[in-house]
């Protein structure tokens, strides 16, 4: 029993209850506390620690079905859950088994100093689950932005931030709100009353200070514990389910990776629902504690609690604590039975985009890519890339400004050099797709596409959604004119979607990086642009678009060499 909860009890009722022997409420609560706070808490603690250890062991295996980032979040959640159940068993589990009603004096006074550890774990669990919910929402609603953000913010930094924030939130309660005071108690030994000196765990005067409770208890709880994170979890969970169901209904087919993603989403939704159900009583108690803060409850004529009301509040607190322990001790059951997936996502399958067509493959066949490469090599750079650049200039004003000139569009030197660069770049992409060593080649292709998107962003050419659509349509038209095979449009759509998606990701990453480097001087930024451009195309020459334009465009002389022996030709 917490000593601070006895301050509101009517002293006359308490004395009369024990003096007349009418302590039925206390005896009943003692039995209830021994069963719920004692035996059940200890059982759940052992069950939770063993289960979390088993889940940690399974998560570390490479063939575990969930993604690496979600596995890292699960590791952090397992640690928070283990700390929570262990702290609850230490603070009142063993004490309830021994005494029924945990005392706040004697050796128990020192054990009760560990109570902030439980609040620390609860705060960490809430914040960790909030972080998981936010990431899943971004992955469903804004996949490109989510990929760019998660490349900048690792799970380690997120977990470290949650740890520090939880520690700061619970630091005042561990240092300033509780103290040990010497006291004496009367005990009966062989019918003789004796006095024993001991210590008692009591609340400090600072805990009843209205200003302190407002700044260090009410406002932090309002923002980081209840109701802000709870409302955020509810809204994002519902919104994620809506977006997922909408995407499911709009999709004509689903591959195995999509099924795995939806299964993971349902598991996380069940985790959130379980969290809300088990923490409902805890939220009510938190709200009541917030309403009973001194700056809200300090008013004249406030009647103290009766013994019946006080015992009733203890029942409610014990049920809420038991549900919180139950939640933390059983989270691992949702993920421990996940089958080890033999489905190995290849590099290209995780990066390629598919179309809503029955024949659209998730991975481009080497032979099909070679069939697309052969007619491409027979097409001149001007015939392929100049119409593509013209379509981009019509939709993007920044791109149009870079190709200004008095000569016809298809005769300008800047247009011809850039068309050669585009042709060489796409030639290298097709060679990588047609190569027998596709897995290694696509890694390099993905990196080049992202660097190309970042270079466009640094040069002031923003890759908007409308520009991506125009570029996709223009490229598909070029490939359709070259090839006459029925499978060629599907293969071309997959490859073009891959290139544009990775370029957009690189552009978003560069946007985030630029926001962090705005404090740098423009001179340093311009040097960085030039050096990054040379790293992108090391064998390139710089061609000035216009004399009054301060930017340069990179034109690769030889992006890659053609090795026909690496292409499987049917």
Local confidence band at 359 (pLDDT 50, 70, 90 cut-offs): very low
Cα distances (angstroms) measured from residue 40 to each of 30, 100, 284: 14, 13, 22
* CB 137, CB 239: distance < 8 Å: yes
- Helix 11-19 with 307-330: angle, nearest 10 deg: 90
pLDDT average, residue stretch 49-69: 85
Structure tokens at 85: 């159940």
Question: Which residues are registered as beta bridge partners of 195?
Answer: 186
pLDDT in tens, 495-553: 888 898 888 888 888 877 776 555 444 444 444 444 444 444 333 333 333 333 333 33
37: number of Cβ within 10 Å:
28
Which pLDDT score, from 0 to 100, does residue 54 have?
A: 92
pLDDT at 355 over 60: no
Pairwise pLDDT comparison (392 vs 85), residue with the higher score: 85
**CA atoms of 496 and 486, how far apart (whole Å):** 17
pLDDT recorded at residue 41: 94
Q: What is the pLDDT of residue 446?
A: 86
When pLDDT is cut at 50, 70 and 90, the band that residue 69 belongs to is confident
pLDDT band for position 290 (cuts 50, 70, 90): low
CB atoms within 10 A of CB 61: 9
Which of 14-28, 134-148, 310-324, 517-531 is least confident? 517-531
* pLDDT value, residue 294: 59
Asked whether residue 560 carries a pLDDT value surpassing 70, the answer given is no
Query: Mean pLDDT for the chain?
Result: 75
Contact 542, 557 (CB under 8 A): no
Token pair recorded at residue 55:
């889940």
Per-residue model confidence (pLDDT) at position 27: 83
Q: Is 56 exposed, middle or buried (0-12, 13-18, 19+ CB in 10 A)?
A: middle
Q: What pLDDT sits at residue 36?
A: 92
- In SS3 terms, 285-314 reads as HHHHHHHCCHHHHCCCCCCCECHHHHHHHH
CA distance 364 to 346: 11
Say if strands 192-203 and 540-544 run parallel, antiparallel, or are unpaired: unpaired
CA atoms within 13 A on the CB side of 295: 14
CA distance to 109, 202, 440, 447, per residue, from 199 (Å): 7, 9, 68, 65
Cβ–Cβ < 8 Å for 96, 38: yes
pLDDT tens column, 408-460: 888 888 888 888 999 999 898 888 888 866 555 677 888 888 888 888 888 87
Of all residues in the chain, the percent with pLDDT exceeding 90 is: 19
Q: Do 132 and 234 meet the contact criterion of CB atoms below 8 Å apart?
A: no
- Joined tokens for residue 185: 């108690």
pLDDT for 540? 36
Residue 265: the pLDDT is 82
Alpha-carbon distance values, 361 to 345, 492, 496 (Å): 14, 11, 14
CA distance 155 to 72: 7
Percent of the chain at pLDDT > 70 equals 72
**Structural domains in the chain, sorted by start:** 3-176+208-345 (1.20.1070.10), 348-566 (1.10.490.10)
User: In degrees rounded to 5, what are phi and psi of residue 51?
Assistant: -65, -40
In whole angstroms, give the CA distance from residue 22 to residue 543. 97
- Classified as helix, coil or strand, 558 is coil
């Amino acid at each position: 029993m917490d000593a601070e909860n006895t301050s509101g009890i009517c002293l006359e009722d308490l004395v009369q209850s024990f003096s007349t022997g009418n302590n039925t409420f206390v005896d009943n609560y003692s039995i209830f506390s021994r069963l719920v706070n004692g035996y059940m808490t200890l059982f759940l603690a052992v069950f939770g620690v063993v289960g979390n250890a088993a889940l940690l062991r399974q998560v570390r295996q490479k063939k575990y079905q969930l993604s690496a980032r979600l596995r890292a979040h699960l590791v952090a959640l397992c640690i928070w859950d283990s700390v929570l159940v262990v702290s609850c068993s230490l603070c009142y589990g063993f004490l309830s088994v021994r005494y029924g009603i945990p005392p706040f004096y004697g050796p128990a006074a020192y054990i009760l100093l560990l109570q902030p550890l439980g609040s620390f774990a609860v705060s960490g669990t809430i914040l960790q689950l909030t972080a998981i919910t936010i990431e899943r929402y971004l992955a469903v609603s804004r996949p490109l932005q989510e990929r760019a953000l998660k490349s900048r913010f690792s799970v380690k930094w997120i977990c470290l931030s949650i740890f520090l924030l939880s520690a700061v939130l619970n630091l005042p309660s561990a240092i300033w709100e509780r103290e040990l005071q010497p006291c004496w108690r009367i005990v009966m030994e062989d019918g003789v009353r004796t006095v024993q000196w001991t210590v008692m765990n009591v609340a400090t005067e600072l805990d009843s200070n209205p200003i302190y409770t407002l700044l260090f208890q009410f406002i932090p709880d309002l923002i980081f514990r209840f109701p802000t994170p709870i409302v955020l979890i509810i809204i994002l969970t519902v919104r994620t389910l809506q977006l997922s169901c909408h995407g499911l209904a709009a999709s004509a087919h689903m591959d195995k990776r999509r099924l795995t993603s939806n299964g993971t989403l349902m598991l996380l939704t069940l985790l959130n629902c379980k969290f809300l159900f088990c923490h409902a009583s805890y939220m009510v108690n938190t709200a009541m504690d917030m309403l009973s803060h001194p700056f809200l409850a300090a008013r004249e004529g406030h009647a103290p609690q009766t013994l019946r009301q006080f015992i009733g509040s203890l029942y409610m607190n014990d049920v809420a604590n038991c549900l919180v322990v139950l939640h933390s001790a059983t989270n691992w059951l949702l993920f421990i039975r996940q089958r080890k997936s033999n489905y190995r996502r290849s590099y290209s399958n995780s990066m390629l985009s598919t179309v809503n067509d029955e024949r659209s493959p998730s991975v481009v066949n080497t032979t099909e890519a070679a069939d697309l490469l052969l007619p491409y090599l027979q097409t001149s750079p001007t015939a392929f890339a100049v119409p593509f650049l013209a379509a981009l200039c019509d939709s993007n004003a920044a791109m149009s400004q870079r190709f200004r000139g008095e000569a016809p569009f298809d005769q300008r030197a800047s247009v011809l050099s850039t068309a050669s660069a585009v042709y060489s770049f796409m030639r290298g992409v097709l060679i990588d797709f047609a190569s027998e060593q596709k897995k290694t080649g696509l890694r390099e292709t993905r990196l080049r596409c992202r660097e190309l998107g970042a270079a466009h962003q640094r040069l002031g050419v923003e890759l908007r959604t409308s520009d991506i659509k125009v570029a996709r349509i223009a490229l598909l038209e070029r490939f359709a004119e070259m090839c006459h095979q029925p499978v060629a449009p599907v293969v071309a759509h997959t490859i073009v979607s891959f290139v544009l998606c990775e370029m957009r990701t690189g552009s978003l990453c560069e946007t985030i990086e630029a926001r962090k480097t705005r404090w740098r001087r423009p001179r340093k930024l311009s040097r960085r642009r030039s050096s990054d451009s040379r790293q992108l195309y090391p064998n390139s020459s710089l061609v000035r678009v216009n004399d009054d334009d301060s930017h340069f465009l990179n034109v690769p002389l030889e992006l890659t060499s053609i090795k026909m022996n690496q292409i499987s030709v049917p």
